Structure 1
Amino acid sequence: MEPQPNTEPHARPKRLLPPVALLLSIAAMIALDAWLPIVELPAASPWDAWLRWLGWAAIVAALTVNSAIALSFKRRGTTVFPFRESSVLVTGGLFRRTRNPIYVSMVVVLLGVAAVLGSLGPLVVVPLFMLWITHNVIRVEEQMLTAAFGDDYHDYQRRVRRWI
């Protein structure tokens, strides 16, 4: 049975939304770092401060990109929310490089969190998040976009990769 888009503005989502999955992933990373620290950089290491600064910069940059994309969608009169019908096929800007820049930026947030934590253990969450988002969100969105935009979306899929 195909999942149905949630088109009602105040309807309760039937699926876990990507921002919630991102927050749960961050929580899992913090828990892994606390309970199973694997290959941690010593706090006195010259790389420690640099890595943490780089992590925070990645988080801020990724969240800025997400905000800019959300604003761009709003200006075009379409929704940024998954599982809702899109009224416009957005293919410009970052969407020329990846069909899912919002999800790519979420992965960058997770990589930034791992850098801030200074441990390799939390990195195990990143591929799990990518697998989950691909299977539970991106594929559903692709079906909805194919139904809404047909050949235009197929052409876009041929030109632009799903991730990067």
Structure 2
Amino acid sequence: MKRWLDIPPVWLALFLTLAWWQAKALSLGLSLGGRWAEFVGGILVGGGVILIALAASEMRRQKTTIIPHRDADRLVQSGIFSRTRNPIYVGDALILMGLILYWDAVLSLVLVPVFVWVIERRFIIPEENRLRRKFRADFARYCQKVRRWV
């Protein structure tokens, strides 16, 4: 049960809940400026969803797992993975940033770098260590070509 709770969507939901709560209960009268923030927020959320969909589709096409705590069957380097090693996590961060803007949760902007830090420590580094052990030279070349985030 603990493994199913320690997955990135649960962490994203936790951070989104904090941002939503801050927007509703602790705004302190601060604002990002209304309509433009809602528009940009919508663009970021849409972009995040598209990134996640592209990554999931590519992983499915390559017949490897999308679940972070499992060993990958293949090193996916095609599609969106040729631009970023972690498109799903980039998508998660875009969704978080977008909803913070949309909700006008100014104080929650600090949650974005905290979320990125948590995701990197809890998921990305352990995932990359497993890939490094399994795919050795291929993973090393991939890391030289493609950045971790963007």
Cα deviation, residue 77, structure 1: 0.7
Which residue of 2 is the match for residue 40 of structure 1?
31
Question: What is the percentage of aligned positions where both structures have the same residue?
Answer: 31
Task: Choose from 16, 21, 27 the match for 1:31.
Answer: 21
Task: Choose from 59, 63, 66 the match for 2:52.
Answer: 66
Cα deviation, residue 159, structure 1: 1.8
Structure number with the higher helix fraction is: 2
The TM-score with structure 1 as length reference comes to: 0.83
The TM-score with structure 2 as length reference comes to: 0.90
Which residue of 2 is the match for residue 51 of structure 1?
37
* Matched residues, number: 149
Which residue of 1 is the match for residue 10 of structure 2?
20
Per-residue displacement from partner, 1:110-144 (whole Å, max 9, x unpaired)? Answer: 11011101232111111110110011100000111
In the alignment, structure 2 segments of 5+ residues that lack a partner are none
Per-residue displacement from partner, 1:58-93 (whole Å, max 9, x unpaired)? Answer: 212211221221122111111111011111111122
Counterpart CA distance in 1 for 2:47 and 2:145 is 26
Counterpart CA distance in 1 for 2:117 and 2:17 is 18
Greater radius of gyration (CA): 1
1:65-84 → structure 2 map (5 Å cutoff)? 65-84=51-70
Counterpart CA distance in 1 for 2:96 and 2:4 is 24
Moved over 6 A (4+): none
Counterpart CA distance in 2 for 1:138 and 1:151 is 19
Aligned residue identity for 2:148: R
In the alignment, structure 1 segments of 5+ residues that lack a partner are 1-10, 42-46
